[in-house]
Amino acid sequence: MRRSDEAGTARREEILRRATELFLNEGFAGTSMSALAQACGLQKASLYHHVPSKEALFIACVTEGYNRELAALRAIRDDAALTDDDRLRHAMAELYRITVDSPVGRMSPLIAEVSLRFPEAARAFHDGFISQEHGIVGAIIARGLENGSFAPHDHLGIEHLIFGPVVTLALSRRMFASHPALEETYPVARVRDSHTAMVLQLLRAGTAMPDGG
């Protein structure tokens, strides 16, 4: 890739970074190009030299953010030195880190905001990120099942049981960031550890399967 390509310049990367920050804090419609220009120390017109439109900017923020996060998750999936239990533990810890801390992981409410107006953003987020995450965790569980570490279970139910609390915790912490008891009510480490232990308990014991899941 040439140095002057669309995705390459340092200025553009800074714009994407600042824009992601603003979108996460103010929403899509609540983020103005003027505010973004100010955050970048530029005039508004200069932004349009780097980005064709606000919508294209948003799509770029979504699609260029998740590759690094997924790489870390894939590395855990492929780590042959771990036991099946520990591999899932590590993956869930990584899921919590991604979903609570990373920009792309915190983007779900944003996607919900814009999904009706440009479904392509939602589609990119689902295919490039959510569905990848589910696939990686699914592979980790399938491996444990083949090895006999985990008992037969309802795949769909376990999948939602793994991802549900993580996403909701991140959403709650964002919604109620100003709540005085935030850390007591929504503590990341305690929820993560308890959640992980219960998922492993279910996987080892097996769960009822409604209809051949």
Q: Give me the residues that bind DNA (CB under 7 A), please.
A: 4, 9, 11, 31-35, 41-46, 48-50, 52-55
Which of DNA, a copy of itself, none is residue 139 near (CB under 5 to 8 Å by kind)?
none
In the complex, minimum distance from the CB of residue 160 to DNA, in angstroms, rounded to a whole number: 35
Work out whether 133 is an interface residue with a copy of itself (CB under 8 A): no
In the complex, minimum distance from the CB of residue 63 to DNA, in angstroms, rounded to a whole number: 18
Interface with a copy of itself in residues 68-97 (CB under 8 A): none
- The candidate with the shortest Cα–Cα distance to 22, out of 10, 12, 37, is 37
Token pair for 27: 């929403």
- The candidate with the shortest Cα–Cα distance to 21, out of 50, 67, 57, is 57
Work out whether 119 is an interface residue with a copy of itself (CB under 8 A): yes
DSSP states along 126-139: IIIIIHHHHHHHHH
Interface with a copy of itself in residues 142-161 (CB under 8 A): 154, 156-158, 160-161
DSSP states along 125-178: HIIIIIHHHHHHHHHHHHHHHHTTSS----HHHHHHHHHHHHHHHHHHHHHTTT
- The candidate with the shortest Cα–Cα distance to 16, out of 2, 39, 171, 5, is 39
For tokens 């003027």, what's the residue?
Answer: 34
Work out whether 212 is an interface residue with a copy of itself (CB under 8 A): no
Token pair for 30: 């609540």
Interface with a copy of itself in residues 32-51 (CB under 8 A): none
**97-to-76, 101, 166 alpha-carbon distances in Å:** 14, 5, 9
In the complex, minimum distance from the CB of residue 74 to a copy of itself, in angstroms, rounded to a whole number: 21
Among 25, 34, 67, 147, binds a copy of itself (CB under 8 A): 25
Among 58, 92, 108, 144, binds a copy of itself (CB under 8 A): 108
Binding footprint of a copy of itself on the chain (CB under 8 A): 25-30, 108-109, 111-117, 119, 122-123, 125-126, 130, 154, 156-158, 160-161, 163-169, 171-172, 174-179, 187, 190-191, 193-195, 197-198, 201-202, 205, 207-208, 210, 213
